[in-house]
């Protein structure tokens, strides 16, 4: 019989995705603004979409809060795989929390920029730069979650593993796909810029696929888990 607490935490992932999908268009961040924007252009963007950016930051923070639950759900599954001594479950949980802090920081930085848009344009531009770099660049911490999940699943030696082995290989693919974001500090154009194909678009699509797949397999595992 499904554990209700685990079910609640699992649904935190889709809730986070929905909040994120509301936030980005609301702020007119789809497509993301170019890193090549001048300070005056950045200020103009904030003036044009002031309310949307303020509201989007709120949805963004709720997305982070929902994803905390999701990270806990993944750790619970890994703990079941590991048994009574679950270092990978703890590492995954800590990694998930650390990876989310830059997302929360981005929301707060956009709020600061939108709070006093009459500031010197260079300051607004700097806050916007910080927000996007915080959002996209911390891929090195973001890969901890799928990498540890992959290791735990593939290390499961049960005749019938708790999660299928293909889910482990899927998490390896997700880990690799997340990595290009680490380079955004070196590029203002091209696929590795914060609005680029590899650093933003592919990562965003892979993240949506990741949450969808992991939600389905974890709900199935939770539903079919033996009592006791």
CA dihedral 111, 33, 15, 94 (to 10 degrees): -70
Sorted by where each begins, the domain ranges of the chain are 4-220
Rounded-to-integer distance, Cα 26 and Cα 19, Å: 11
As a whole number of angstroms, the distance between CA 170 and CA 208 comes to 13
Phi/psi at 216 (5° precision): -65, -45
Q: Helix or strand or coil: residue 30?
A: coil
Element (H, E) at 45: helix 39-48
d(CA 96, CA 100): 6
What CA–CA distances, in Å, run from 193 to 64, 69, 124, 164, 179?
Answer: 23, 30, 19, 35, 13
Q: What is the pLDDT of residue 96?
A: 86
Do 13 and 100 meet the contact criterion of CB atoms below 8 Å apart? no
Sequence-distant (6+) residues with CB within 8 A of 215 are: 10, 11, 13, 14
Q: Degrees (nearest 5) of the Cα angle 39, 110, 196?
A: 70
- The Cα 79–Cα 223 span in angstroms is 17
> Of 132, 177, 169, nearest to 153 (Cα)?
169
- Buried b / exposed e over 189-211, threshold 16 CB at 10 Å, is eeebbbbbebbbebbbebbeebb
What is the full per-residue pLDDT of the chain (228 aa) written as tens digits? 568 899 999 999 999 999 999 999 999 999 999 999 999 999 999 999 999 999 999 999 999 999 999 999 999 999 999 988 899 999 999 988 888 888 899 999 999 999 999 999 999 999 999 999 999 998 888 899 999 999 999 999 888 999 999 999 999 999 999 999 999 999 999 999 999 999 999 999 999 999 999 999 999 999 887 655
What is residue 54's predicted lDDT score, i.e. its pLDDT?
96
Between CA 31 and CA 195 the distance in angstroms is 7
Task: Tell me if 74 sits within 8 A of 218, measured CB to CB.
Answer: yes
Report pLDDT for 228.
Answer: 52
pLDDT at 139: 84
* Measured distance CA(21)–CA(155) in Å, rounded: 34
């Amino acid at each position: 019989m499904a554990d209700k607490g685990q079910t609640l935490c699992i649904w935190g992932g889709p809730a986070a995705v929905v909040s994120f999908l509301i936030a980005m268009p609301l702020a007119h961040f789809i497509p993301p603004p170019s890193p090549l924007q001048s300070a005056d252009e950045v200020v103009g963007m904030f003036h044009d979409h002031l309310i949307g950016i303020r509201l989007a930051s709120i949805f963004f923070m709720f997305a982070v809060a929902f994803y905390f639950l999701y990270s806990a759900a993944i750790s619970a599954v890994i703990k079941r795989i590991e048994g009574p001594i679950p270092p990978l479950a703890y590492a995954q949980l800590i990694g998930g929390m650390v990876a989310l802090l830059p997302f929360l920081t981005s929301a707060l930085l956009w709020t600061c920029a939108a709070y006093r848009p009459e500031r010197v344009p260079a300051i607004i531009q700097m806050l916007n730069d910080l927000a996007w770099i915080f959002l996209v660049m911390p891929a090195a911490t973001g890969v901890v979650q799928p990498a540890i999940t992959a290791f735990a699943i593939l290390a499961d030696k049960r005749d019938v593993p708790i999660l299928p082995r293909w889910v482990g290989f899927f998490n390896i693919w997700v880990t690799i796909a997340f990595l290009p974001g680490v380079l955004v500090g070196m590029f203002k154009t091209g696929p590795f810029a914060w609005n680029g194909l590899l650093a933003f678009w592919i990562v965003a699509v892979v993240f949506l696929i990741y949450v969808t797949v992991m939600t389905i397999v974890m709900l199935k595992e939770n539903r079919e888990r033996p009592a006791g």
